[in-house]
Structure 1
Amino acid sequence: MAQTKDSTAPASAAANPDDPYIWLEEVRSDRAMDWVNAHNAETVKRLEADPRYQVNYDEALALAGAKDRIPMPSFLNGEIYNFWQDEEHLRGIWRKTSLADYRTADPSWTTVLDIDALGKAEGKSWVFKGADCLEPEERLCLISLSDGGEDATVTREFDLQTGRFVDGGFDLPRAKSAVTWEDQDHLLVATDWGGDDLTTSGYPYIVKRLARGQAMADAVEVYRGEKDDVGVFPGMVQDGSGNRLPTVVRAIDFFHSTTSVLTEDGAKALAIPEKANIAGMVDGHVIVSLDEDWTVNGKTFAAGSVVDLALADVKADPANLAPHLVWAPGPRDALEGVSTTQDRLLIATLENVRGRLWSYAPSRDGGWKAMQLDLPDNLSLGFGSTDEKSDEAFLVASGFTTPTTLYLSNAATGEIEEVKSLPAKFDAEGLVVEQLEATSSDGTKIPYFVVHRKDIPLDGNTPTLLNAYGGFQVSQTPYYSSNIGKLWLERGGAFALANIRGGGEFGPAWHEAGLGTKRQIIYDDFAAVGEDLIARKITSPKHLGIFGGSNGGLLMGVEMIQRPDLWNAVAIQVPLLDMIRISKIAAGASWQGEYGNVNTDPEAMAFWQKTSPYQNLERGADYPEPFIFTTTKDDRTGPQHARKFAARMEEYGLPFYYYENTEGGHGSGADIKQSARTNALTYTYFMEKLMGPPAGGTGEGAK
């Protein structure tokens, strides 16, 4: 069943014969929103008619607002802070308690900032986007607030001691700003300064020093990038010994950048590779993670390694550096993250997509002494908040069927205490997790995880959802999902997660294998996993559905068009789909380092002309009927991609579902009710397509 045809001829059709839906790129125009509202109404009518929708919504909302969730902690101002949302606090409260009280089963919380109340008082749809508090006191904080969930924020100064926004304090207007404290009376700010001060990607490229009480127009420039950069981003690297290093990162593209240190004599370039980042500082050791080989002084440090630089050398002569190795990956290893405490460097790694956590202590001879933290195997492991006033760190462990557990560790001694564990949110009895491999088109083995009931018959009839991301060096590791468990696995479905190229599961080379015009291998990897699930008779095309968001939404669009024979359901979420006009939509120009630049590179243009989902839809093709989801407030990928793709499907008489949340930013919703609705619609769609009509009736979408 196709959506209702828009009978109004596009005013821009004559001027854009190859793209008659340019008008849908006008995000808030009356005409575009009329189109959105009409298609939303049709999708809601169809899916809410299925009796499973209300059950799914009620369960998703209960999971999102459950009181027994782990309140994820942050060390701040000598206490533990947490941001919390539930049915009474849809937009959330920022609250605090003591560490001792947090350790108890039922902590006593004090509300610091109520976002719902603030939004009501100011007539805004505020969404909390975080806080940056001035070290070392951590009393004055820069609070970022978004209207409806978009990436652009306002930034206001807040005093934790008084519990109020500071009268006459720092107050930056709405923009995609990057702001950091220089000291109590000065900020380093990259923002839209009111002129032509944004890059083609929509981010600032001029950094200025803003003094307390100073008008924005009077701020003093300290660094200027280029108009064609992605953007420039000031930062302050600090350690538990009180050392500080102000920096500016100039992002040339999404993966290449230059780093400068700010000195009394101005900004000076730091001679690290363009694919390297300052990851932290410990006891005067500046920690750098490498995404490319670095040869210096006749020695080569491999891509994926962690090295350190002496802070004194960085300040004295940033153009001539002498790095020392801290950690180097093995053939199946990858760096997942770097954190610091007062005296320790913390490194999270993957070993064949299984988590490992390490604590490193600097030694007097200039080396590092490593200690692996003793945690369960075969789980995803990561560092939560760390304390730069002690060596305490929170650790997080979870798996597909293992509820998330929070530990408190002393990174110096290795002592670990279990603090909180999420109660089981779904019945995992009888479920098994397997790590399998598929063979891609070039013979490369692609690992993937699959969760299913131990006793499923291998007859191809198990409804199965397959997910992947495949880009930006983002790793996909096992995780505990209450929604997948409750709304899918409990109902007899299976779930698979693919570690395709483009991700970071095996280091920078795994990512670079699919960059730019090499990207078809990513799509081949994903199809190979689908074929493998079918060959093993875990499922079949009739019962196999796929989903992904953002870059994963692009993946879904490509797979729907290239391999419609493999899937019966495709959820395309907050996607990129028009890869020819990507640089002209939202922040799309910033990702040309990942996808190639169709405006300047004929090879990139040729590749995307034959691969871009929007341009490659065909009349009369036998595609699965997709569920296309986006949000009006998404100023990252933008709703334009999803709208135009759906409009072209409609023109071609191809069936689809379309739903656009009018808030939410680059996600499922601005509050838990919006997110619950998105989840309910999505899982109802999958149930209709892969499990069949509800008992005692025919779902509207199954007709």
Structure 2
Amino acid sequence: MTQMTYPESRRDTVVETHFGSEVADPYRWLEADVREDAEVADWVARESAFTDAYLKALPQRAWFARRGQALLDFERFGLPEKAGKRYFYIRNSGLQNQAQLFVREGLHGEPRLLIDPNAWASDGATALASWVPSHKGKYLLYSVQDGGSDWRTVRVLDVKSGEPLADTIHWVKFSGLSWLGEKGFFYSRFPEPDEGEAFQSRNFDQKVYYHALGTEQSEDRVVYATPEHPEYGHSAEVTQDGRWAVITSHIGTDARYEVHAIDLSSRDWAPRSIVTGFHDAWSLVEGVGDALWFVTNQDAPRKRLVRVDMDRQGARFTQIVPEREELLERAGIVGNQLVLNYMRDAASHAEIVSLDGKRVRDVTMSGIGTASGFRGKPGDPETFYAFSSFNRPASIFRMDIDTGVSEPFAEPKMDFDPEDFVVEQRFYPSKDGTRVPMFVFRRKDVAAAGKPVPTILYGYGGFDIALTPGFSASRLAWVEAGGAYVVANLRGGGEYGREWHDGGRRANKQNVFDDFIAAAEYLKAQGITREGGLAINGGSNGGLLVGAVTNQRPDLFAAAVPQVGVMDMLRFDRFTAGRYWVDDYGHPDREADFRVLLDYSPYHNIREGAAYPAVLVTTADTDDRVVPGHSFKYAAALQHARIGVKPHLIRIETRAGHGSGKPTDKAIEEAADIMAFMAQWTGLSVPEGWLFM
């Protein structure tokens, strides 16, 4: 194996002094927007051509592309949303680039196509993002995402005629959409960015607006803003009875909120304080009359359910369901009962209780997996939920809330048997003895044989986000080919509530890396994988994870694929939404945080002279969440360093963002590249003449 000759990347002499430490940043010029800077665009073109030639030559790529496509070619449904007598839901017939939105008149009515995003752009990269029917189902409010950007354009459709209204809202980002009856809606937006700064500049001064149908956006009413605190973000949610608009405010990504309520029956819509101080998480469940229900972690790290009674004296709090050992993820009021969605060791279960918290029944799940949904309305007789796992695409069920009986609404028809695979949950000790869960997904015959196989280890470990079992065609293809797929539930995530999250953020971030490294060592010690047979993968904060552990323990891994990662930990807060992430990472301009960040920043800690695994960095040119400059700089630094002869490449998607809205054909191509790269360096090959060849 000989050293690759990579495309040239100019190195500058940028050096800055931070708290007495000199920090070099030779590739800062790669932070410029590829759409605005010709030199960066040229670098991207050269790197893309180089990487594309390598990936297309990989022997397993064609199989992963073909099998990944076949595994996605089945009818898929989203959770139905009921409004009046109409049922709205999304559906993808199989390989459509974007799912379509349908409506039925009654549960068993004939489906009618309302929105087909596949007609919006020739490359399939313009997507239907969020959508909300009005209370009686007369109108549909929806947002459009172009090229993977976080920016949204909001529009309104007349459901009966299928014709769009003239109402159009621009510069919406990180916003809920909530109707007030059939006459208007609430949304959140930022000021219009300066020319050429839409995909790079930081986002400040978000406001909540009310838009009345038939009016111009310029006439929209500001209903909540904090001009004295432009760093605050705000979202609004209207209760089903139209009585209250609940405003939830945040500072960063941490689940610490202030909550205000607007009595929509009043004339002045003056906000009333419910929770102040940004101390705890508060998630609105629903409202009925003067009562509001919330899930909160106030005095309950794994969360509890409370009712807030709004009266002239203020807000009175009553605990309805106390904290339990399991994590209370969410709740909903359906009919005259509450559906509680719990997580136990990163797997889902649900139960129904009365409005005063008394247990009614459990909701039975079929194995280890993820249950989602359980939305509904007070007085409704039904709710819908989805259940999925690594070996089971999402099935949609309708549950009668009074009897608890569930019946299928939409079940996928697959060309594989889920019973051919096994999903195990294991626990392993981290460096400090902390017990950490992981899921291990394999073919049954592979697990029974007990021999080590090429393995992908996936992790995230941040922002209070839990990794739960879910279906992926590319991951199933890897397991079909004889490999193992493992998800480690690292500290920093949301699997066990506030304490688990706190254990892996800011000064405790190294715990996340230790948990991941311990997972890798466990997989080898248990004979699940072997030396030279382990690949690691993660996206966004998980891309940071992969970059950091690759620097710390390059000897452990055969291949590493950090996707859309946060790679420069000293400048992440200077772009778009990056300023929010200080809750998890700390502030680069504060010395104590700076020392921690510099110690693990992937871009700054590449170990000259060490033998690195094969690395495939992935990003997208329209990612305005984690701007692609992170990955550009990191890849250039990898290619410059003397870190062995294995390839260190960057794959740059065009007309795509951080992940959401990506068309199916691009998703298949990207997955084939990634899986083939990891197969090449872990020794995974498809057996000759096997069932799916």
> Do Structure 1 and Structure 2 share a fold, with TM-score over 0.5?
yes
Q: In the alignment, which residue of structure 1 is the partner of 2:324? A: 329
| 1:349-403 Cα shifts (integer Å, max 9, x gaps) | 022333211122224xxx5444212333433323255355613112222333345
2:653 alignment counterpart: 661
Give the corresponding residue for 2:365: 375
36-45 vs 402-411, which moves further:
402-411
Report SS of the residue matched to 1:91.
Answer: coil
2:257 is the counterpart of 1:268: no
Measure, in 2, the Cα distance between the counterparts of 1:505 and 1:254.
17
**2:247 paired residue number:** 248
For the residue of structure 2 that corresponds to 1:673, the secondary structure is helix
Which residue does the alignment assign to 1:422? 412
Task: Give me the whole-angstrom Cα distance separating, in 2, the residues matched to 1:467 and 1:227.
Answer: 42
Q: Is 2:588 aligned against 1:580? A: no
Shift of residue 189, structure 1, vs aligned partner: 4.0
CA deviations 1:71-110 (Å, max 9, x no partner) are 54333452332323457742342222355437xxxxx532
For the 8 Å contact 1:570–1:625, the answer to whether it is kept is: yes
**Matching of residue 316 in structure 1 with residue 312 in structure 2:** yes
What displacement does 1:274 show? 3.0
Q: Secondary structure at the match of 1:589?
A: helix
- Secondary structure in structure 1 of the residue aligned to 2:128: strand
Distance in 2 separating the partners of 1:46 and 1:560: 22
CA distance 1:693–1:504, change in 2 (3 Å): closer
- 1:78 and 1:427 mapped to 2: Cα distance? 36
Letter in 2 for 1:271: V
Contact 2:60 2:685 in 1 (8 A): no
Task: Find the counterpart in structure 2 of residue 174 from structure 1.
Answer: 171
1:288 matched residue in structure 2:
294
The match for 1:49 among 57, 78, 86 is 57
CA positional deviation for 1:200? 8.1
- Please list, as runs of the form range in 1=range in 2, the aligned pairs for 1:229-244 lying within 5 A after superposition: 230-239=231-240, 242-244=241-243
CA positional deviation for 1:604: 1.0
| Deviations 1:634-674 (CA, angstroms, capped at 9, x unpaired) | 11112111111001112225531211111222117621000
User: 2:542 is paired with a residue of what secondary structure?
Assistant: helix
SS in structure 2 opposite 1:329? coil
2:610 counterpart of 1:621:
yes
- Are the structure 2 counterparts of residues 86 and 454 from structure 1 closer, same or farther at C-alpha, using a change threshold of 3 Å? closer
Alpha-carbon deviation of 1:542? 0.3
Structure 1, residues 231-272: CA drift from partner, whole Å, max 9, x if none? 432312313xx2531122221222222111124362222136
Q: Distance in 2 between matches of 1:177 and 1:484?
A: 29
Match of 2:340 among 335, 341, 347: 347
CA 593–451 in structure 1, closer or farther in 2 if over 3 Å, else same: same
Question: Are the equivalent residues in 2 in contact too, given 1:3–1:39 (CA < 8 A)?
Answer: no
1:580 match: secondary structure: coil
For 2:43 and 2:490, the matched residues in 1 are separated by: 36
**In the superposition, relative to structure 1, how do residues 9 and 519 fare at CA in structure 2: closer, same or farther (>3 Å)?**
closer
The 5-angstrom pairing of residues 95-494 of structure 1 reads 95-98=102-105, 100-101=107-108, 108-119=110-121, 125-135=125-135, 137-167=136-166, 170-176=167-173, 178=175, 179-194=177-192, 201-225=202-226, 230-239=231-240, 242-255=241-254, 256-263=256-263, 264=268, 266-271=270-275, 274-281=279-286, 283-284=288-289, 285-293=291-299, 302-310=300-308, 313-318=309-314, 320-330=315-325, 333-363=326-356, 367-383=357-373, 385-386=375-376, 390-426=380-416, 431-454=421-444, 456=446, 461-485=452-476, 487-494=477-484
Structure 1 window deviating more from structure 2 (454-463 vs 510-519): it is 454-463
Q: Distance in 2 between matches of 1:278 and 1:694?
A: 47
Mapping 1:495-510, distance limit 5 Å: 495-510=485-500
- SS of the aligned residue for 2:496 comes to coil
Residue identity opposite 2:683 in structure 1: M
- From the superposition, tell whether residues 451 and 686 of structure 1 become closer, same or farther in structure 2 (CA, over 3 Å): same
My pick for the range that moved more, 178-187 or 656-665, is 178-187
CA displacement, residues 587-635 of structure 1 (integer Å, 9 cap, x when unaligned): 1111111111112x32110001111111111222211111111111111
> Could you tell me which residue of structure 1 aligns to residue 20 of structure 2?
none
- Structure 1 spans left out of the alignment, 5+ residues: 103-107, 294-301, 697-703
Cα distance in structure 2, aligned partners of 1:334 and 1:164: 44
Q: Is the 8 A contact 1:403 1:480 kept in 2?
A: yes
What are the residue-to-residue correspondences of 1:66-81 with 2, within 5 Å?
A: 66-70=73-77, 72-81=79-88
Task: Report the equivalent of 2:691.
Answer: none
Kindly state the Cα deviation for residue 5 of structure 1 after the two structures are TM-superposed.
4.0
CA distance 1:211–1:10, shift in 2 (3 Å)? farther
Cα deviation for residue 525 of structure 1 reads 0.9
Any residues of structure 2 matched to 1:590-669 within 5 Å, and which?
A: 590-599=580-589, 601-654=590-643, 655-667=647-659
Cα pair 1:286 1:309 within 8 Å, conserved: yes
Distance between the aligned counterparts of 1:540 and 1:428, measured in 2? 26
Contact 2:551 2:605 in 1 (8 A): yes
1:10 to 1:99, Cα distance in 2 relative to 1, 3 A: farther
Amino acid at match of 2:173: K
Alignment of 1:13-52 (within 5 A): 13=14, 18-27=24-33, 28=35, 29-52=37-60
User: Quick one: distance in 1 between partners of 2:189 and 2:77?
Assistant: 35
Whole-angstrom distance in 2 between the partners of 1:632 and 1:231: 28
Letter in 2 for 1:466: L
Render the CA deviation track for 1:101-159: whole Å, top value 9, x for unaligned: 37xxxxx5321112222446xx9952111212322x12222220111121101111211
Distance 1:402 1:517, change over 3 A: same
Paired AA for residue 564 in structure 1:
P
Instruction: Give, in whole Å, the separation in 2 of the partners of 1:385 and 1:84.
Output: 18
What's the RMSD between the two structures over aligned residues?
3.0
Report the CA distance shift for 1:588/1:406 in structure 2 as closer, same or farther (over 3 A).
Answer: same
The answer to whether the 8 Å contact 2:368/2:423 transfers is no
1:292·1:304 contact (CA, 8 Å) conserved in 2? Answer: no
Closer, same or farther: CA 117–479 of 1 in aligned 2, 3 Å: closer
Please give the alpha-carbon distance, in whole angstroms, between the structure 2 residues aligned to 1:413 and 1:327. 25
Question: Match for 1:235: what amino acid?
Answer: A
Q: 1:134 to 1:200 in 2, by over 3 A?
A: same
1:426-445 Cα shifts (integer Å, max 9, x gaps): 45565433322211111111
Letter in 2 for 1:109: P
Long gaps (5+) in structure 2: 18-22, 689-693
C-alpha distance in 1 between matches for 2:304 and 2:251:
22
Normalising by structure 1, report the TM-score.
0.87
1:359 touches 1:412 (CA, 8 Å); kept in 2?
no
Q: Alignment partner of 2:384: what SS?
A: strand
Change (3 A) 1:640 1:434: same
The structure-2 alpha-carbon separation of the partners of 1:221 and 1:668, relative to structure 1 and needing over 3 Å to count, comes to: closer
Partner of 1:701: none
Deviation per residue, 1:398-429 (Å, 9 max, x gap): 33334543321112221122333333454556
* Matched letter for residue 485 of structure 2: F
Asked whether the equivalents of residues 51 and 694 of structure 1 are also in contact (C-alpha less than 8 Å), the reply is no
Indicate whether 1:678 and 2:670 are aligned.
yes
AA partner of residue 37 (structure 1): A
Q: Distance in 2 between matches of 1:568 and 1:343?
A: 55
Please say if 1:512 is aligned against 2:502: yes
- Counterparts in 2 of 1:352 and 1:693: CA distance versus 1, 3 Å: closer
Structure 2 distance, partners of 1:230, 1:501, is 27
Secondary structure class of the residue paired with 2:623: coil
TM-score, normalised on structure 2?
0.88
